Amino acid sequence: HGQKGYSPVRLAAGVREELDAVRKIYSGNLSITPVYDQSGVISASLKNLLFSLLIGAAAAFFIILVFMKNLFPALIITASFPSSVFFCLFFLYVTGRSLNIMSLGGLVLGIGMVVDNSIVVSDNIRESLAGSADIKNSIAGAASEMAASTFGSTVTTLIVFLPVLFLPGVMGALFTDLALSVIFSLLGSFLCSVTLVPVLFLMFAGRHIKRKGAGIFNAGNPSRRGLIENIYSRILKGFLRKPLLVLLPVLLVCGAGFFGFERLHFELMPKLSSGELNITVALPPEEPMVLVKQKAADLQHALLSSGAVEMVWARSGGGAGDAYYQADETMRMGVISMTARLRSDQPDNARAGEAVRSLLDVSSLHSEVHKPQDLLDPLFGSLAGLRAAVAGKNPEEALARALDLKVRMEDFAVAAFPENRGAAAVKIFPDSGMSSIYLRPERDILARAGAGFAGVASEIRTALEGTVSFRMERGGRDLDVRVLVNDAQAGSLRRLEDLPLLPEPGSALRLGETGKLILESSPHSLLREGRKDIVLTEAVTVETMRGLQAGWRALVRGTGYAELTSDSVLKEQKTGILLSFCLAFLLIYLFLSAQFESFSEPLLIFLVLPPGAGGLTAALALSRSSINLYSSLGVIVLLGLSVNTSIILFMHYKNISAAGAGRACPAAVVLRGSVRRLKPILMTMLTTILALLPVAVDPARRSAQSGMAAAVIGGLLFSTAFTVFTLPLVYLGVNRLKNRFRKGQT
């Protein structure tokens, strides 16, 4: 285990180097094979995020170049991206944060917001330069004109991510780096948009104007509008004449989103494909250790011979000093825990997993096969399957309730999926399957042999665990020679009776002569929680029966004495999460109310959220993703992007109206402002989507961020469509109502 702040990738690389050195020392006489190494998964995730970051930068440049049709503005806006990234990295270093999957994920998710400020300022500068002779004052005026709206949108987005910094427990520790990277990059983006972008325009674009003339920046002239602006203008004019035409599609999208939300699968952490399978094989409780080893070896050989598995390792039981045994109450003798690494050349890991299941079904042993859990699953109470704690007044009552719940869950699985009988497994622990051999000594016999209880116990322990009889030197090393009984004798009740004891020199006494040996089954451990004895139940299904877990959850919650461990974790943190986000919405509303000098207009901005939720649901359904912590975080990113776009659009309406001293027609103000802001809105949306596409496209299910990226892409598409087509109508309608109210008062 690495120390705090030490890179796990560097740690794994260092361990591999040391292992190579050990192999050379032993000259091939020692075989060492790593069986668990997550550094490859981490490195692959980091490379994918870096690739997405580069794709986003290239996409930003390409999209800006296509929309602006000029190299100089595209280069200027693109220059703000690395500047914002360096600003973010510097403050991550100052605050003691590392460059990891979460911080890089924040940069990728916020790439659209990072270039948005520069796009808005650059577009306004270009329009101000159209036909202007005073380049310096035009650039300064255009930058200062957009400073208020970009500052407002930046602060609002920062408020959206502030609650993440105050999330309690593991969730706060997990997502703080992501929130900080977004916050720092946005601050750097705003500073670049009001400082670097105007200066670069003055240095380079001004010279270009002097050579080519001012007509090159006539983008603000309606006669020079592009094809997209003309089409959008015609559609928006039609909607302004007949607003009800857009109402029905919006209601359909919102309704479909809420309907689809209930059909999505809920889980704390997404199930990823790591190219491995965890296998649990239950043996009879009285099985001796020698047979457990033999059965594990037979299963390993069968799996390796199947052609689908590259490597298998197994473990069973543990000792008093075994950290794995102490940390996991499911580990005990009689249960073989195996990890099978699938071959990398397998075209379909799911098909290889089915082959492994079929192979195990041939044997008469009870076995379970499931994907490895995420590293964060134990922290959130979500392990290999659906786990619940069954409470009782005493261990017997808790065990009886757990057995009853086990039967009900298995019956429910058979009724729901009769064609997959036996594919859903429910196990309980601690159970009564732990076999122990007890010795009830006869005092008279021990007294005649001159032995005491302590002496007999010491002899038994020495015989079973061994004792160092002598030391020998071999190959320049001192070796301990430990003598103990063989496994066959230690694991058999009849052979243990013949175990010789020597309580006194010169005497001989067999263990069976000292008393009665009894084989009993009892729980191997006792669990307590909330001053009650508990028994844990864990239900595991194959991938084709994932829908079964919803019914199991309802069954567990309806008992009154059982609680899902995932529910208990969320219950501990739910209050803090709700308070944090309620505070965020309140702060956003108060800030926007002060900025707009209105209590109603901020509510209009929040109208973009229901259509965005509909798109988010559709994207998760199409990508076969679930509602989990990562995809839920996509809602926060979507909120920041949607609110950001709406603020800039509303502020532009106000600037146009103020420039006309209130004499301009409200419909003309909305139409002109929407058309002028269409390019920045589309550039921001397309840049974000292209940057997130490499993360969202994950057919192999190897990235935890794929669901979050898909949620942002789908929500952004729908919320942008609502912003450019519906929000202008809403703004115009509210403005007309205000004017009628004022006329009525006068």
Contacts of 72 by beta carbon, 8 Å cutoff, 6+ apart: 204, 205, 208
Contacts of 32 by beta carbon, 8 Å cutoff, 6+ apart: 19, 22, 23
**Can you give the pLDDT at residue 221?**
45
**Can you give the pLDDT at residue 621?**
78
Can you name the residues that pair with 470 across neighbouring β-strands?
481
What Å distances lie between residue 253 and 247, 383, 613, 714, CA to CA?
10, 36, 9, 12
Query: Which stretch of 47-51, 178-182, 606-610 has the lowest confidence by average pLDDT?
Result: 47-51
Cα–Cα nearest to 649, from 686, 680, 621, 625:
680
Query: Which stretch of 20-34, 110-124, 281-295 has the lowest confidence by average pLDDT?
Result: 281-295
Dist. CA 33–CA 369, nearest whole Å:
23
pLDDT-derived band at 213 (thresholds 50, 70, 90) equals very low
What is the three-class DSSP state of 375? coil
**Can you give the pLDDT at residue 457?**
81
| 361 compared with 305, residue with greater pLDDT | 305
Backbone dihedral region of 383: left (phi > 0), alpha (psi from -120 to 50 degrees) or beta?
A: beta
| 458 compared with 321, residue with greater pLDDT | 458
pLDDT tens digits along 604-661: 888 877 888 788 888 877 777 777 777 777 777 777 777 777 877 887 787 787 776 5
**Can you give the pLDDT at residue 314?**
82
| 20 compared with 361, residue with greater pLDDT | 20
Dist. CA 380–CA 589, nearest whole Å:
32
Range from 61-75, 350-364, 731-745 that averages highest in pLDDT? 61-75
**Can you give the pLDDT at residue 703?**
67
**Can you give the pLDDT at residue 182?**
86
What Å distances lie between residue 570 and 170, 533, 576, CA to CA?
11, 22, 10
| 455 compared with 170, residue with greater pLDDT | 455
pLDDT-derived band at 212 (thresholds 50, 70, 90) equals very low
Query: Which stretch of 173-187, 451-465, 525-539, 546-560 has the lowest confidence by average pLDDT?
Result: 525-539
pLDDT-derived band at 222 (thresholds 50, 70, 90) equals very low
**Can you give the pLDDT at residue 334?**
62
- The mean pLDDT value of the chain amounts to 74
**Can you give the pLDDT at residue 547?**
62
Mean pLDDT of all residues in 677-693: 82
Q: Which two tokens stand for residue 560?
A: 């009154």
pLDDT at 333 over 60: no
Contacts of 503 by beta carbon, 8 Å cutoff, 6+ apart: 446, 449, 450, 451, 452, 455, 456, 459, 509
Please report, rounded to a whole number, the percentage of residues in the chain having pLDDT higher than 70. 72
Give the Cβ contact number of residue 445 at 10 Å.
13
| 26 compared with 195, residue with greater pLDDT | 195
Query: Which stretch of 267-281, 615-629, 678-692 has the lowest confidence by average pLDDT?
Result: 267-281
pLDDT-derived band at 220 (thresholds 50, 70, 90) equals very low
**Can you give the pLDDT at residue 223?**
43
pLDDT tens digits along 382-420: 544 577 888 888 878 888 888 888 888 888 887 877 766
Dist. CA 455–CA 449, nearest whole Å:
11
**Can you give the pLDDT at residue 209?**
47
pLDDT tens digits along 134-154: 788 888 888 888 887 788 778
Contacts of 313 by beta carbon, 8 Å cutoff, 6+ apart: 35, 338, 339
- Name the amino acid, one letter, at 131: G
What is the three-class DSSP state of 736? helix
| 172 compared with 38, residue with greater pLDDT | 172
**Can you give the pLDDT at residue 385?**
59
**Can you give the pLDDT at residue 214?**
37
- Name the amino acid, one letter, at 158: L
Query: Which stretch of 449-453, 522-526, 617-621, 653-657 has the lowest confidence by average pLDDT?
Result: 522-526
pLDDT tens digits along 51-106: 777 877 787 788 878 877 777 778 888 888 888 888 988 998 898 887 777 787 77
